[in-house]
Chain A
């Protein structure tokens, strides 16, 4: 049901850089709606990681960064650490003839090798 598509999984060794894509369409990301990213550690609630495309809330390490272009967005993790192993979700807003709603991505599991 998710209208934002993410790769199911990405992996990297400690210290490496990984990126997660979030592909939308002209009714959500492409319409100019902001993209936000959440980190969900195993067994816990999601936590806001990146807001308004590229802003880090207080306390979020600067190894996390976000960007948005056209109908897509990306989350990058540089200097990957073991504690970054989690599920990551993008979120935006979708407005079309079908209605308006908050939409989440399909989710990406990050594995630290």
Chain B
């Protein structure tokens, strides 16, 4: 059974950089076609896709947040790391990582439990 789990700080100050780690099991990011994405959800609001990294190190970002995001992978550790710079209170949200499955753009078929990140001074 594929599992993913997010980790990182639960509280960051405005202007700081957020670093989140997604640790996964039962699949490998060195397998052709595999991808891991990050999605966030502000309290009471809809889901918003942030970034995705593929097995071949191809990286995709939300155009509106691209300048602030970096996604990397460590295949040996089964981890994907997302950094978001210049955090603002509007970035307060539950951040999820998810396994991307299927062909083409695909879908997110396995999700982590999510972690709430609060941006406040």
Contacts and interface: CB of A to CB of B under 8 A. Distances in A.
Contact of B46 (A45, A51, A105): A105
Contacts of A46: 47, 96, 108, 111
Contact of B47 (A57, A100, A101, A104): A104
A48 B66 CA distance: 26
Given A46-B47, A51-B109, 12 more contacts: A34-B102, A34-B105, A45-B96, A47-B111, A48-B107, A52-B102, A93-B105, A99-B63, A101-B63, A104-B47, A104-B49, A107-B45
Interface of B: 37, 39, 45-49, 52, 60, 62-64, 66, 96, 102, 104-105, 107-114
29 contacts: A2-B48, A34-B104, A38-B47, A38-B108, A44-B113, A45-B96, A45-B113, A46-B108, A48-B110, A51-B107, A52-B102, A89-B46, A89-B47, A91-B47, A91-B107, A98-B63, A99-B63, A99-B66, A100-B60, A100-B63, A101-B60, A101-B62, A102-B49, A102-B105, A103-B49, A104-B39, A104-B46, A105-B46, A106-B46
